Each structure stands twice: as structure tokens, then as C-alpha cells.
Structure 1
């Protein structure tokens, strides 16, 4: 009789644990879905630029596809199809539409378990698609928001962008804190906004990470040095987000993301990336756009010639189309 009573207690406890786990899972699923819906902002593209008919095999739009305001939504992210993402770090001020302080292109190849990452320097001079003139590429956001930014980047690279992620730079600091901070290898000893960043490995909180990402005038490499630091920070945030520790902090991370991030990646696609693709990415390669700085009428611009743009275009194609990635 006592044995049967013990078994009933054990079974009852197991049932409670099962129900509790199921309830927690349902609660987290609901929180994730709510946050994903808050972040979701499909884009209504401006007049399409000229994109060459190159089959990328990406999950979203292929080159040459219909990209007008009535274009269909991108296809779902899967474990077999590569895709591209434009990450926009936007510095917005009161009574100002803001500018894309950071522009990072990600090429994700799930089959190869790899990601390619590069910045487009904010001062890069190029045609702003939909504006009909050449200007700094980061001004595209001020004139036409996400739509013009995407079309301008597509034209600049002669390559389609499947998805976008827009993050408020002030919210960036909160995201870093929520993932538990980030560790970076700082190549340069410097001080900025009251913080001292010693050379070597550093663990940064959100406020420190934001200052670390913004400094450029004291960097011998200027915007290129800042771009490298921003890529490193993004790599660490992504790694922390898909780690076991990050998933345990999923609820506050998602709530913060819902307030600070806008994207056209759906809830289902986010789930696929976080649970299947992100943890399987074993390699992240970074490249740098080569160019030179010069002034026109007293305004500084960064010039990238056609040969360099073609080099980056070919690197993107190689990464998206092959299973073995080794960019130079």
C-alpha cells in the first residue's frame, strides 16, 4: 500500500512537472510570437533599381525578380537555402528621421554552416535609388527610409537583398545588456565618452559597447576601424542570442527587440533561424570594402570603384552558391 502511495506521489509530481514545462513552453512561445509581430514591418519598395539577372538561389527574392510595391513576400527561410540580410543601425534624433549610422550586409549559407559579413562605409558615395542623385549612402535612410536604403544597397552591390533588420542604436545598448554583455578583442587602446578601452580582450556592457561601436575619429583607420569593431560586436550578439544562456533569457530579449527592432523576417522564419540555423553556423568570415576618401565641395566621401564593387559582388555569389566558403 505504501509502495503504491509513493508511486502515486511520484507520478503526480511528474505530471505537475510536465504540465509546468508545457505551460512555460506555451508562455515562451506566446511571448516570442508577440515580440515577433511587434518587430514585423514588411517593406513597400520604392521604384526598383537595376539588378542583373543572376540566380542567387536565396530564400527570398532572386536577382531580376519583381521588387515593386506589389511584389510577393520573400519565401520562407529554410535550412537549405542561403539568403542575404541588410542590418541598419539607425541613429534617430527628435524631429529627425535619422540616418543609418551602420550598414552591414550578411550573407547566410545554412547548408555550409557559414556567414559572410561586411560593412558598407556610411560615407560611401553612390546613387540613391529613388532620389536620382549621388550622395552618401547613409543618407538614403533619411530621404526614403528602409525602402530607399535597400534599393540603394542592391544597386551598389548589383545583388538582391532578401531581408532587412533595422535597430535603433540606443536600443543596441539594452540588447547587449540583455544577452549578458559581449567579449571583444580590442585592437586599439583608446578613450571615448568617458570610457577607457584597453587593448586586448574586453567584456563590455551595453553602454560601453555602444561607445566602443561609435568611436571613429581617434581610430587611425577612421570609419573602417569602426566598421570592424561593429562587425565584431554583431557577431558576438548573434552568438550570445542563439546560445543556451541566451535562450534562457529569451523573454526579456524578445520584449526589448520588439521595441527596438524592425524587420520583414516573419515569426516562423525567426524561429527557424534561432533554433535550426543560428546554432549550426560554425564559421563567420568578414571582408572589407576597399576605397579611398576625398572631398567634393568641402564634403568628405568614401569612393569605391567599379572593380571593388564587382569583387564584393562575386564574393556574395560565391558564398551563396557554394557549400565550401573561403573568401579572400
Structure 2
């Protein structure tokens, strides 16, 4: 696992805390208020995949589902999840497992008598359906989730003053040109960079890597002391575009107890094949590889079958 990927997870866990510590009491008050407005709980005390409730004080291994959701105005549904990444974090083993789930993965949609793309789970039933579908697809609990409106990429990038990325292939997407090499992106171009798919030889896997690259660049700038002058702008974007069942207190507990896991991260991409059903493209995961991955995640979460 590259240092770049390690930073993504570290920044996810600590970005808010860096801002709080760096700016003192005002930022702590503002961050507390922001977390209050973005927090929404799942309708349960624990995942049905757990026998006992999670105990952060004792350092129980936990999981977090990251979702980037397309919530364009005028949509008739709840928005599809363009990005789904599951993290399992084990402070005892001091390690993290990271699973990227392709948006076109064919799954049973939890609560619906249908098979469909996993990205449609959120569109059909929102966060509850998306979380439950991932749980039953991978057969592991999802303890926490962080949902980000994909459209907020633009506002977030602009709020931190733009970003730089290393583009490994030249392409043009939605009339925006992206040369190879180090390029600077404003909000609109960053969104296009993160969304391009069909021009990439690695298709959805290539897009997932660019999305992670954009998130890393944004968070690195957002968590720097120099960005504190833009703190109110950044906080406004968070309040308008992020929802999570994590409280600020839980985030602090995770940072305090679980940050030892950051030095060892293993990334997984689902094995499978592209198929077509009724003229529609799907990604069909290999059942044996999926079962093996599920077992590995259960072991990492220290769950008994």
C-alpha cells in the first residue's frame, strides 16, 4: 500500500481534529455545531451482523462505509452512490483493510425483491438501504458511514483554493482538457477529473483511483494551517454536503484509539467479470473470491462465524 493511500484514511480520521486543534476554541465550537447538523443515526442500536454492541473505549475493531452520492437537483430518486469504500480498522492488529466496491456490482438490494447495481441501493432507499446492502453483500457489519454529495467536490475544491493532481493520461471530458502530468484543478475541473470513466482503460477502477486522489488533495489542503483562513467556507461545504452517524466525540475516540492502524493498510479490489443482462452492463463478482474477502474482513473485525 502506497503512502498516498495511507494518507487518505489518516486524513479521513483526523482532518476535523487538525482544524480543531490548530485554531483553538472558536473552531472547536464551530466544528461541534457542524457535526450536530450533519449527524443522522441509523434506525438501530447496532448492526444485525454483530452479536454485541461496538465498544470504542475497549478498542473493538470497527468498519466505516464511505459513500459519494450523486444528489443533483431535480432527481426523482435519492441519488446513486458513485463511490463506495468500506474500511475495517483493527487497533489490536494495528491495520486497516480497504475495499473499493465498483458502482455497477450486481447485488441483491436489501429490502427489495430485486438484483441491481449496488449504486442503486441508495437511490431506492437512502442510507439505510445502502448500508444494509453492503452489509449483506460482504457479510460483515457496517458500524459507521460517511455520505458526501458528489456535487460538493466543486465547492470544496474552490473553498481550499484549488488542488494539484498527477494525471497519468491525457484526456478531454465534458469539453474540459486534462493534460498529462501535474495539473491544477478548480472545482468544476476536479469534479470532471473524478467522474471520468469510459475514456479510462481501467474503467471504473481507474475512476476510483482518481476520486481517491482528489479527496486526498482536498483533505491535505483543508487540514493545513494555511487553510484555516478558509475555515468558514470549508465548514459551510461540510454542513451542506456531508451526513454521517459519527459524532464528533466518536471521531475523537476513533482518532485516539485507532490511529495506530494507519501504518498498515491493505487495499482490495473485487475480482469478477463484466456481464450484460437485458442490454445493461453489470460487474459480476467472483463468488469464491468474494467469500474469501468476506472471511478476511470478518477475521479483521474479530468476528466469529
Q: Identify the residue that residue 37 of structure 2 maps to in structure 1.
A: 38
Instruction: Provide the rounded CA distance (Å) in 2 between the counterparts of 1:203 and 1:112.
Output: 38
Distance 1:207 1:115 in 2: 32
**1:1-328 to 2 correspondences below 5 Å:** 25-44=24-43, 61=47, 63-65=49-51, 75-76=55-56, 80-93=59-72, 94-96=74-76, 97-110=78-91, 114-245=95-226, 249-273=230-254, 281-282=262-263, 284-317=265-298, 319-320=300-301
Q: Which has the higher contact order (CA 8 A, sep 6+)?
A: 2
CA distance, structure 1, for counterparts of residue 203 and residue 158 of structure 2: 27
Scaled by the length of structure 1, the TM-score of the pair is 0.74
Q: CA deviation at 1:101?
A: 1.7
* Count of aligned residue pairs for this structure pair: 278
Per-residue deviation, 1:288: 1.3
- How far did 1:104 drift? 1.5
The answer to whether the Cα contact below 8 Å between 1:118 and 1:231 also exists between their aligned partners in 2 is no
SS in 1 for 2:276: strand
Shift of 1:195: 2.3
Whole-angstrom CA distance in 2 between matches of 1:95 and 1:32: 30
**Contact 2:85–2:101 under 8 Å retained in 1:** yes
C-alpha distance in 2 between matches for 1:253 and 1:311: 40
- Give the 3 Å change call, closer, same or farther, for CA 292–128 of structure 1 in structure 2: same
Cα separation, partners in 2 of 1:250 and 1:62, compared to 1, 3 Å? farther
Residue-by-residue CA offset, 1:160-205 (whole Å, 9 max, x unaligned): 1110111111112222333454443323221112322223333433
Paired residue secondary structure (2:237):
helix
SS of aligned partner of 1:218: coil
Partner Cα distance (1:176, 1:79) in 2? 37
| CA 1:254–1:282: 2 relative to 1, 3 Å | farther
1-structure distance, mates of 2:109, 2:85: 17
Report the alpha carbon displacement of residue 33 of structure 1 after superposing the two structures with TM. 0.7
User: CA offset at residue 156 of structure 1?
Assistant: 0.7
Per-residue CA deviations over 1:214-249 (Å, capped at 9, x if unaligned) read 111111222122122223333444444444445675
